[in-house]
Amino acid sequence: MSGYAVQQLLDTEAVSLYDVVCDGACRHKSGEECAHGAHLVFPYRGVFMHHLGGGRDAVAEPNQVMFFNGDEGFRVSHPVDGGDACLSLSLSPDMLAELTPKDQTRGRPEVAFEAQRRGIDPRAQALVALLRHSLTRGTIETLEAETLSLTLVRRALGEQTSHASAGSWGRTKLVDRAKLVLASDLGRRWTLAEIADEVGVSPVYLTQVFQQVEGVPLYRYQLRLRLARALDLLDQYDHLTNLALDLGFSSHSHFSAAFKQHYDRTPAQFQRSVRAQA
C-alpha cells in the first residue's frame, strides 16, 4: 500500500489547499477510495494512474488537472517508479458551482465533473508552483492565496486555457502509454522512433494520434513536462545550469529561453520570486 504525506497549506471558508505526496509503493491498483466533495488535483511531480469504474483510466501528470467527485469511488496505481506529488484544491460548493461551466458537470445538485481530466496550460502550472512554494515558505498573504486559487480554477476550467482530451478510447489509451514512456525518464533525450517502438506503433501514426488527442505535438508535451518539473525543483538548485542538464536540456540558455517562452519570466526570476521574503 502506498504511503501518503499530507500538508495543509491553506484552509479558509472559500478555499482549501493541500500538498499531497505519495511514495508510489502501490504499483498495482489500490483499494477503493472516496473523495469527500468535489476537488481539483494538480500533479506537479511524478505520475500515477487514476482508475474509475467502467474501465475509465487516465494518466495523471503535470500537464493535467484531475477531477475527483464527492462520493465517487476511485483507485490509483503507480506504473512508473518515483511516486507523485500533487496540489489538491477544493472550493466552497457555491463558489465551485459559480466557476464551473455547466457543460462540464453532470446533472446533480452538487457539482460533479463530467470529465476525468483536462489538459492545463503553462500559466496554470506556474500558478500551482507559485502557490505551493509561497504557502510553504509563508511568503504570501491569505487574501492573495485565495485570489490566486480562484484564478487557477478559472484557467483549469476555461475553454481557452485548458483542453479536453479528444479521440476514441483506443487512441486515448495509446497516448497514455506514450505519456508513461516520457514520464519514466524526463531527462532522457528520447527519439520519436524509440517512443513509437515502446508503444508498438509507427512514428507517423504516433505523432498523428498524439496531436489529435492532446491538441499539442508530442515534442511540446515532453517539453512542458520537463518545465513543470523545473517549477518543482527551482527552489532546490543554486546552479540552474545543473538543473537544465538534469532535465535533458542541451544548455542553460536553451532551458532559460524555453522557460521564459512558457512562463513569461526566466528561471532565475521565478526562483527569486518564490524565495522572496514576506
Structure confidence by residue, pLDDT tens digits, 225-234: 999 999 999 9
Number of separate domains in the chain: 2
Measured between alpha carbons, how far is residue 106 from residues 35, 90, 101, 168, 183 in Å? 17, 18, 11, 21, 32
Whether 153 and 232 map to the same domain: the answer is no
Whether 156 and 174 map to the same domain: the answer is no
Residue 96's pLDDT is: 92
Whether 187 and 149 map to the same domain: the answer is no
Q: Over the stretch 160-205, which tens digit does the pLDDT of each residue have?
A: 889 888 888 899 999 999 999 999 999 999 999 999 999 999 999 9
Q: List the CATH number of the domain containing 266.
A: 1.10.10.60
Tell me how far apart the alpha carbons of residues 134 and 132 are, in angstroms, rounded to a whole number: 6
Whether 223 and 149 map to the same domain: the answer is no
Mean pLDDT of 147-159: 95
- Compute the mean pLDDT over every residue in the chain, rounded to the nearest whole number: 91
Whether 179 and 140 map to the same domain: the answer is no
Q: Could you tell me where the beta strands, DSSP code E, fall in 92-209?
A: 117-120, 162-163
Q: Over the stretch 239-261, which tens digit does the pLDDT of each residue have?
A: 999 999 999 999 999 999 999 99
Q: List the CATH number of the domain containing 77.
A: 2.60.120.280
Residue 107's pLDDT is: 65
- For residues 105 and 65, the model is more confident at 65
The range of the structural domain enclosing residue 229 comes to: 169-275
Tell me how far apart the alpha carbons of residues 118 and 39 are, in angstroms, rounded to a whole number: 13
